[in-house]
Copies of this chain bind each other. A is one copy, B any other.
Amino acid sequence: MRSPIGIFDSGLGGLSVAREVIRKLPQERIIYFADTAHVPYGERPLEEIKGFALDITRFLIERGAKAVVMACNMSSAVALDEARTRWPDVPILGVVEPGAKVAVRTCDGRPIGVLATTGTVKSEAYARAVGRFDDNIVVVQQACPKFVPLVEAGLADSEEAEAVSRDYVAPLIQAGCGTIILGCTHYPFLRRAIESATGPGISIVDPAEETVLELAKVLNEKGIASDAFEGSHLFYASGETSGFAELGSRFLGEPIERVISLQASVVCVRTHGS
């Protein structure tokens, strides 16, 4: 089934999930939606974020998505259940559940650390998700407000990134965490800096990787995996796209033949009685 996989995020961070899909499922085509008109989600009311997530999920399904990945920790936390209820026939995955699941499997009873944005920390999404798998495990959360600006400034591999990482990781090491979840789609780009801060002996969990493994499983179970890649990936942004092409191709890490820029308008016609 050559319909695409829908993936969305508040911004470009979710491209780390797209990159994993391209690596692990190269026969699948992607439609990606970056909600750059509303990024960042961090300070917005949860109901608003939920509304955005449901609108975007609908948009992707209308464009033919056979499965949808909420590559946004906030969206996954607040909108996943409702989206699954609304579109029961379309597999919808978040990044929080798969991340929490593998962390629980690898933590060996020790505390699990979570590096995340302030919003995701406040939502306690990872703490709740870990609790659903095993409620004896302690979850230690650390908000990392400096991480996203570093990645977006292209400083993921800088000394500054290493110094900031050491500050954020220290409380998790002190709490005895043996496993650390990268609880924001931008953080995989900081993996080297974070690993230099943790040293060896601490497992880093990238929810993107686990989410894509889960996605592969679901596609196979449902018999809707694609048999061959055909055509082109399509990336939408609701607002600003500066840096999209450059960051996009860096995030994707794939040989790109060409990028065609489009303008698009969604016209919502008033429907009667539906």
Q: Nearest B residue to A22 by beta-carbon distance? A: B269
The residues of B that contact A249 with a CB separation of less than 8 Å are 267
A258 near B: Cβ within 8 Å? yes
Complex partner residue of A261 from B233, B263, B271, CB under 8 angstroms? B263
Q: By the criterion CB–CB under 8 Å, are B264 and A263 in contact?
A: yes
Q: By the criterion CB–CB under 8 Å, are B234 and A265 in contact?
A: yes
A268 near B: Cβ within 8 Å? yes
Complex Cα distance, B235 from A97, in Å, reads: 35
- Name the distance in Å between A174's Cβ and chain B's nearest Cβ: 43
Complex Cα distance, B270 from A175, in Å, reads: 47
Given contacts A64-B3, A274-B229, contact A262 B259 (CB under 8 A): no
Given contacts A3-B64, A237-B262, A238-B262, contact A58 B231 (CB under 8 A): yes
- Give this chain's copy count: 2
Number of A residues with CB within 8 Å of any CB on chain B? 45
A136 near B: Cβ within 8 Å? no
Given contacts A269-B22, A270-B255, A270-B257, contact A62 B231 (CB under 8 A): yes
- Name the distance in Å between A19's Cβ and chain B's nearest Cβ: 12
The residues of B that contact A64 with a CB separation of less than 8 Å are 3, 63-64
If A234-B264, A255-B270, A260-B265 are given as contacts, then 13 extra A-B residue pairs at C-beta distance below 8 Å, sorted by A number, are A62-B234, A232-B269, A235-B264, A237-B263, A237-B264, A238-B260, A244-B265, A258-B268, A260-B268, A261-B265, A262-B263, A262-B264, A263-B264
